[in-house]
Each structure stands twice: as C-alpha cells, then as structure tokens.
Structure 1
C-alpha cells in the first residue's frame, strides 16, 4: 500500500516548520497501467470497411442478353487505364474502344451521359471487364464510381476474344 514517509529533521535546522513528506507513487503507476490495459482490450481499434457487392441469387441462370443501347462496357487495363465502348460486339472495331480516366470524374461523366441517352434508363447496365494485367485497386475505384453515380445494375465479366484483341492493340 501507499506509505507516507516523514523525514525527521531534528538533526538539522528547521525551515519554516515544514516536515518533508515523500509519497510512494508505485500503486498509482500500477493503477495507470491497469487502466491503459483495460481500455486497450475493450476498445475496437478500427472497423473493417466493407463494400456492398450485390450478387445474383443461386440457381440455374442462362446467358443474359443486354441491349447495347441500355449498357456501357468498361475494360480495366494496365496502369489504372480504363477503356469503354457502347456498341454491339459484332460492330466493334479499333475506333470503338475509347480511353477515359478517373481524373476530374471522367468515368462518372461517361456513365451519366450513357445513362441519359439510354432508351430504358431503369434497365441501364454497366459491364466491367478487368484485363489480366489490371490491378485490384482499379476495380475498387470503378465500383466506387458506380456507387457515386448510383448505378445499381452492373456486372463483372471476362473479356471475349474480340475485346482482348482490341485491348492489346490499344496497349501496344
């Protein structure tokens, strides 16, 4: 326990009639460390950030045909480059694939303009196709842009052969 130690100054001169008192601070330090330990163990340091990703219900699903006028397709490439097209697959050519960047909300503007020109805005779908050399960060940035533009209908898919060829021509 805490002790108060009194110095007996009978040998020397007394100054103003004071008696020297020393307080043992060891129990106070122990209490401080116990409180710090308690708060460290009882506190949540940080909650994990979770991204809401809507997945289709389980069951047999066939291929879904999406009208190209009600959709836009983004290809996520190397070095955070993003390409898009809004055309039928059979009509794709070298000029169909256009580059857009995340700077100054260019992706969001592209999605909004495509959605505005869609005949059925309630069925507007964004299709995301990451390339083999794309980064995970680019996909997360793209999903953030979809949340910003409130695009609830989207899909993540693999590139077909024609899209891969067009992408390779753009990269080289």
Structure 2
C-alpha cells in the first residue's frame, strides 16, 4: 500500500478547495499477478525432449542365411559423403566397373526419389493406409500394426547406410528421415570396408 501526500504548506487561501489525501492501493495488483503466474504455471505444457529411436539389427537376430536370402533386386547401399552428397548403388557390388556408383543429394529429386521408386508398391499401400486412418476407418493401434507389417513385408527393399568420415551428423539424421518418408522398414547402419573404398575410388569419390 502506498500513500501520496499532498505537497505545499502555508495558509489556505480563501475559496481554495481542500485537497484530499490520494491513496493508491497496490494490493489487488499483486494478487492479480500471483493469480496469473499460477495460471500460466499450471496451464503451460513444458516442452519435452524429442528423441528418435534407431532400431539396429543384432547379430543374434540376423544370421548369415537370412542375409544371403536378400535378393539383389531388393538391396541398395548408400554412402554419406562430404558436402551433403550421397552415393549409391543397387543390387550387388561391382569392384571392377568404373563409375559404378551414382551421385545424388538429399533433395526431393535426389535420394528420396530413388528410394520412393524402389519402394513404390509399399509407398502406395502406406498412403492408402494413412487415408483410411484420416477417415477414422482404422484405429491408431491397427494403423501402427499394419504400417509395421507393410514396411517389413517380404520383398520390401533392404537399405544399407554407410557414412564416410567426411559426412556429418546431420547427414545421418537426414538419411534416417528419408527411410521414414519413403516407408523403408529394413535398413542398417554399417562401417566402410575395403570393397566400399575400392568402389568409391573407382568412381572418383573421396573415401575420407
């Protein structure tokens, strides 16, 4: 509470109105501030940390026979290079052919277009499933189950992601995003080997 006292002194002049004490009570304002503060503390949703799950295959779940069963037409290997470049090949590796690898980037017309074309059937089925969910024809539980089944169905592409030393963390995140966008359910992240370095060298692409 604050009081404002009138200034001035001396004798009162004839006909002059008497000045009353002016008092400004700040107590309601303080109460209002506390109420607003309490409201926003209770009503505001604090931002939650966002994490992304990366499911990596384990050796006890993926044996040699299962790896050999992957058809060449289903396999695709992509390398994450410098300056956000992507190099890839489909099918089996060819260590002798020069310029065996194809260079692209993370644009919509780049690796996304290649993956979408390779996984065209699954992409179309996923779109139809999403439309059914939008129309409330499928529950969230059924949607998640069917989506997982489609992405991991027999005959769907298998993508191997191999980052070069010159690639960045953002390149890895972008590559994983492309897996989700193009509905690729089977993918793994591995390191470069001697065969990879040979193919990169034959295609005049840097290996580090």
Normalising by structure 2, what TM-score? 0.63
Asked if structure 2 preserves the Cα contact closer than 8 Å seen for 1:74 and 1:84, the reply is yes
C-alpha offsets along residues 18-40 of structure 1, whole Å, 9 cap, x if unaligned? Answer: 73422142773486368548846
Q: Which residue of 1 aligns with 2:82?
A: 78
Give 4+ residue runs of structure 1 displaced > 4 Å after superposition: 3-12, 37-44
Q: Which residue of 1 aligns with 2:52?
A: 51
Q: Which residue of 2 aligns with 1:109?
A: 113
C-alpha offsets along residues 46-86 of structure 1, whole Å, 9 cap, x if unaligned? Answer: 22222232233684643423322111111001121100001
Distance in 2 (alpha carbons) for counterparts of 1:123 and 1:92: 28
Q: Which residue of 2 aligns with 1:152?
A: 185
1:140 aligns to 2:183 (yes or no): no
Asked if structure 2 preserves the Cα contact closer than 8 Å seen for 1:129 and 1:156, the reply is yes
Please, which runs of 5 or more residues in structure 1 have no aligned partner?
none
Distance in 1 (alpha carbons) for counterparts of 2:19 and 2:155: 87
Task: Tell me the matched-pair count.
Answer: 167
1:164 aligns to 2:164 (yes or no): no
Please, which runs of 5 or more residues in structure 2 have no aligned partner?
122-152
Residues 146 and 108 of structure 1, relative CA distance in 2, 3 Å threshold: same
User: RMSD across aligned C-alpha pairs, in angstroms?
Assistant: 3.7
